[in-house]
Chains A and B, each alone.
Chain A
Amino acid sequence: MNPVGNIKTIAKRELRAYFASPVAYVFIVIFLLLNGFFTFMIGGFFERGEASLANSFFNWHPWFYLFLVPAVGMRLWADERRVGTLELLLTMPIAPWEAIVGKFVASWLFLGLALVLTFPVVLTVNHLGSPDNGVIFAAYVGSWLMAGAYLAVSCITSAITRSQVVSFIISVVACLFLILAGFPPVINLLQNLTNNWQWLVDVVTSFSVITHFEGFQKGVLDSRDVIFFLSVIGFSLFTTSVILRTHRTN
């Protein structure tokens, strides 16, 4: 069978499994509640009086994803190993990368669905003013790509361990690095510590999701930012495949 068919079959099963348990609904409800609360209460959507979602809504996404995406990704491989279905999956007539991509795509689509369900906030801002919907769309794309990058990192941590909890914690720490690398206080600290080695500071900040997400928030679809997120995803999925192979050869 062709790789696309295999990936589709794997992704379909994974999505079905999400919605067969309450996890999916709990996740979506929490995600939407957090979004609503932060946008309107803490982000000061009304007080700002801006016809834009950048500062009140999208600004929080890197931080929501820090906890929510590892929660979605933690079970991906850890559970397969714990239950033993990994043995079934990898003895099916499919290439391991197809399974890795299929499972990733399913979770990524699920995150996309959660993101799409925040549409009332778009309706609200359109009702109250006349925002640039192109900018909002770009920011949504960026947010989804960022979620994908976090998710791919969670795939790695999930493949490392059988325990979902351990996977969750490691991946929160790893994703925290992805955020903090571009966080101003951290950049300042780094500059002081390294005596202003600008190249090092640049290298570190270039790994930050925040710097790459900023462009999208302003409505700029810069190919470098897209490539950044896609390459984090690609690299992480490749690492996942290496880890899964190592487990089997050890």
Chain B
Amino acid sequence: MIKVQNLTKIFGTKRAVDGISFSVERGEVLGFLGPNGAGKSTTMRMITGFLPPTKGSITVGGHDIVEQPIPAKKLMGYLPENAPAYTDMTVYGFLDFAAEIRGLRGDAKKSAINRVVELCFLNSVLHQNVDTLSKGYRHRTCFAQSIIHDPDILVLDEPTDGLDPNQKHEIRQLIRRMGEKKAIIFSTHILEEVDAVCSRAIIIDRGTIVANGTPAELRRKSEWAGAVTLRLNNVAEAAVRQKLNQLRAAKKISMTTNGDRVTVTVYPRVFGDGDLTREVIEATSGWPVEELRTEEGRLDEVFRSLTMPDTKN
């Protein structure tokens, strides 16, 4: 549904987005990750036709966003960063305007407004002025605007920013449900959201894509992926260290001691062959193991190592 090819945006001398390519199909929820200023919002602004690209092409539902902006924009709903909304109108008036500009009239308009009011829990503030709303309500009002025409494609720039945990949960559920039938791109820097919502994630840094895959695939890039963590009670540290260091599948180990308790993490040479877990279990037979678990890998660590290469260890 969305195809981005070699997309570049240059502001003055700064390359905000530098030759990125990806595509999103129906049924996919693509998470857009990256530190602040990585080019997430700029990319979304180009996809939605707000900013023209310096180079590269974007097609939305087969329409080039620069050549045929109107049919392309018809297919999309967009929640810009900071969720702007006309402050001098009521929530109802704002949604009424959004529905009308999307070509909805009469009963179709009414039912569209009712539907999004229901979905975004706006009933209690429907006739309140937008500038009197709390941040969460304003955010949801703008979100409601983006789905009012039930678009095939949704572009959401930090849709859960500024919401409380319950609201975040609701919006994530909503995105996930809608993601079954739509193509969705959303940006975030909350990593737990990627697991909760995305079927695929892209990490971008300084305008380029540094990783693209399912959340599980990304996690596997972590050195934690497949590591085995053990908690032992009352053992000789040196013996443990010596024994575990000899394992063939182990790359390195790390250890922390707290009184009689020793926590050991053994990192694998390769991910996912199960050898390490087997070897650790064999090696520790007879030891007082209180806990043993296999790590899945940590997204935050992958994120840090990819977006802060200078401090990578």
Q: Which size class do A's interface residues fall under?
A: 20 to 34
Q: How far is the CA of A5 from the CA of B105 in the complex (A)?
A: 11
User: With contacts A6-B101, A9-B101, A85-B85 known, is A94 near B70, CB below 8 A?
Assistant: yes
Partner of B50, one of A10, A16, A21, A90: A90
Q: Is there contact, CB below 8 Å, between A20 and B88?
A: yes
A17 at the A/B interface (Cβ < 8 Å)? Answer: yes
A1 at the A/B interface (Cβ < 8 Å)? Answer: yes
**Nearest CB in chain A: distance from B56 CB, A:** 15
B121 at the A/B interface (Cβ < 8 Å)? Answer: no
Partner of A84, one of B11, B52, B84, B100: B84
Q: How far is the CA of A6 from the CA of B97 in the complex (A)?
A: 10
Count of residues in B whose CB is under 8 Å from the partner chain? 33
B270 at the A/B interface (Cβ < 8 Å)? Answer: no
| B residues less than 8 Å from A93 (CB atoms) | 70-71, 73-74, 101-103
Q: Is there contact, CB below 8 Å, between A20 and B101?
A: no
Q: How far is the CA of A108 from the CA of B221 in the complex (A)?
A: 60
**Nearest CB in chain A: distance from B43 CB, A:** 14
Interface string of B5-21 (1 = CB under 8 A from A): 00000011000000000
Q: Is there contact, CB below 8 Å, between A9 and B100?
A: yes
Partner of B86, one of A12, A85, A91, A250: A85
A33 at the A/B interface (Cβ < 8 Å)? Answer: no
B76 at the A/B interface (Cβ < 8 Å)? Answer: yes
| B residues less than 8 Å from A249 (CB atoms) | 51-52
Q: Is there contact, CB below 8 Å, between B50 and A9?
A: no
Q: Is there contact, CB below 8 Å, between B129 and A20?
A: yes
**Nearest CB in chain A: distance from B150 CB, A:** 14
B222 at the A/B interface (Cβ < 8 Å)? Answer: no
B48 at the A/B interface (Cβ < 8 Å)? Answer: yes
| B residues less than 8 Å from A85 (CB atoms) | 84-86
A123 at the A/B interface (Cβ < 8 Å)? Answer: no
Q: How far is the CA of A203 from the CA of B156 in the complex (A)?
A: 52
A-side interface mostly: helix
Q: How far is the CA of A126 from the CA of B78 in the complex (A)?
A: 56
Q: How far is the CA of A162 from the CA of B21 in the complex (A)?
A: 33
Interface string of A233-250 (1 = CB under 8 A from B): 000000000000000111
B82 at the A/B interface (Cβ < 8 Å)? Answer: yes
Q: Which of A12-34 contact B (CB under 8 A)?
A: 12-13, 16-17, 20-21
Among residues of A, the one whose C-beta sits closest to the C-beta of B105 is A5
A193 at the A/B interface (Cβ < 8 Å)? Answer: no
Q: How far is the CA of A88 from the CA of B49 in the complex (A)?
A: 10
User: With contacts A6-B101, A95-B70 known, is A20 near B89, CB below 8 A?
Assistant: yes
| A residues less than 8 Å from B102 (CB atoms) | 92-93
| B residues less than 8 Å from A84 (CB atoms) | 80, 82, 84
**Measuring CB to CB, which residues of chain B are less than 8 angstroms from any residue of chain A?**
11-12, 45, 48-52, 70-71, 73-74, 76, 78, 80, 82, 84-90, 93, 97-98, 100-103, 129, 142, 145
Q: Show 20 residue pairs from A and B whose CB-CB distance is below 8 angstroms, ordered by the A residue.
A: A5-B103, A6-B101, A9-B100, A9-B101, A10-B101, A13-B97, A17-B88, A84-B80, A84-B84, A85-B85, A87-B50, A87-B84, A90-B49, A91-B78, A92-B73, A92-B102, A93-B70, A93-B71, A93-B74, A94-B70
